Chains A and B, each alone.
Chain A
Amino acid sequence: MSAVDLARSIKKACSIEEVEPKRKHVRACIVYTWDHQSATQFFSILKSVPLAPSEIQVFKCLIVVHKVVQEGHPTALREAIRNTEWIRSLGRVPSNEYGRLIQRYASCICEKLMFQASHRGFDGGMFEYKEYTSLAVVSDPDRGYDTLWSLMDLLEEVMETCKLMLASMGRRRKAELVVAAVVPLVTESYGIFKFCTAMLRALTQEIDDHAALEQLSERYRMQHRDLFELYADCSSIKSLTSLISLPKLPPEPESFDMTDK
């Protein structure tokens, strides 16, 4: 695929119609970053597309960026981190109907990028569970505690953004564009949650002072409940469940029983 095709795909993915960005075009962008092992082209073309006049286009653009960062070549993440400020500036586009969603979504993506920029080891746009990352983090409990805490901050941000999307759906005639934004948020939240679970488990095994971890596990339980409810809400949206299989959480959070040591 050449840069011309890429430009066409980007333009079509960020078109002005109020429908979800077509998977076909998003996939073309993702595949391009793998074929060329670089996302420089993708971002430079994306930045040259005139978006500002239409809030729908800006919203679609954010979805595409999020998707490419998640599924594209690892360089897409690094390139996106470099472009954080540009993504943030998208959130400041004056708009009405999608205004709040755009602002929230842009800052959510920026949070994610900033987390991944400052925590090496979480490379790859998707939070795919890696044994060694959680081990490396846990071998230094202070750092582990810190990382886990900010990971939970990020999860909260993602969940809040997702909730806002769901809440705004009721008033809309056409919900499909918003559904399209929920998809990457759901996968993101589940990936982060799995990481949290594994890291907390590893931390409880590592540290004897369990009172110190009480705060973390309390927060973990709360987030589990929130996430469980969030997925339950998502499961009522038919166009979403037919597209992705929603992650299934156990109805009860994993209890890290601290007495059996």
Chain B
Amino acid sequence: MSKQFVRSAKNVVKGYSSAQVLVRNATANDSDGPSVDTLDDLAEKTYDSVEFFEIMDMLDKRLNDKGKYWRHVAKSLTVLDYLVRFGSENCVLWCRENLYIIKTLQEFRHEDDSGVDQGQIVRVKAKELTNLLKDEERLREERSLNRRG
């Protein structure tokens, strides 16, 4: 509970915008995955060009976090994956432009205090997202399907 309180205090102190707060909550350092509602909300916001950059900036920060915060990285990849499929076209362009950020996470590694390798999930997610981004045809197909649905 106190963690959540600290985060909301930080949100105020650092002056994050509402979209950035949403990203921060979606990629928080707890074991719940981001909810579909949040993801939808974020995808909706990427159509606004100002909020788009705010979201991407925050995700960029989260993706480059250190190993201890592997949950930030893993969840950011989840969010990014969702945005690529459901968000604005700009998300795809951004990811292509910055593919190296995602690609270099394919060898991400972190062992927690008990020696469990928590990097696996990041490696798998990074690999899948990279493959999706490289496969233009599949991505276009998925995006057009998602739009109708």
Contacts and interface: CB of A to CB of B under 8 A. Distances in A.
Interface of A: 23-24, 27, 30-31, 34, 71, 73, 183, 242-244
A242 B66 CA distance: 20
A21 to B, nearest CB: 11
> Nearest 9 A-B pairs (CB), nearest first?
A34-B100, A27-B104, A23-B109, A30-B104, A23-B107, A71-B104, A24-B67, A242-B117, A31-B104
A243 B101 CA distance: 18
A203 to B, nearest CB: 26
A30 B107 CA distance: 12
Q: Is the interface of A mostly helix, strand, loop or mixed?
A: helix
A231 B117 CA distance: 23
Contacts, number: 28
B107 A183 contact: yes
28 contacts: A23-B107, A23-B108, A23-B109, A24-B66, A24-B67, A27-B104, A27-B105, A27-B107, A27-B108, A30-B100, A30-B104, A31-B64, A31-B100, A31-B101, A31-B104, A34-B100, A34-B101, A71-B100, A71-B103, A71-B104, A73-B100, A183-B107, A242-B117, A242-B120, A243-B107, A243-B109, A243-B123, A244-B107
A46 B119 CA distance: 28
Interface in B110-125: 117, 120, 123
A23 B107 CA distance: 7
A24 B104 CA distance: 10
Contacts of B120: 242
Interface in B63-95: 64, 66-67
Contacts of B117: 242
Nearest to A29: B104
Select the residue from B104, B117, B120, B123 with max chain A CB neighbours within 10 A. Answer: B104
Contacts of B67: 24
A66 B107 CA distance: 15
A244 B108 CA distance: 10
B126 to A, nearest CB: 11
Given A23-B108, A24-B67, A27-B107, 13 more contacts: A23-B107, A23-B109, A24-B66, A27-B108, A31-B100, A34-B100, A71-B100, A71-B104, A73-B100, A183-B107, A243-B107, A243-B109, A243-B123
Contacts of A30: 100, 104
Nearest to A20: B109
A24 to B, nearest CB: 6
B31 to A, nearest CB: 22
Nearest to B108: A23
Nearest to B101: A31
Contacts of B66: 24
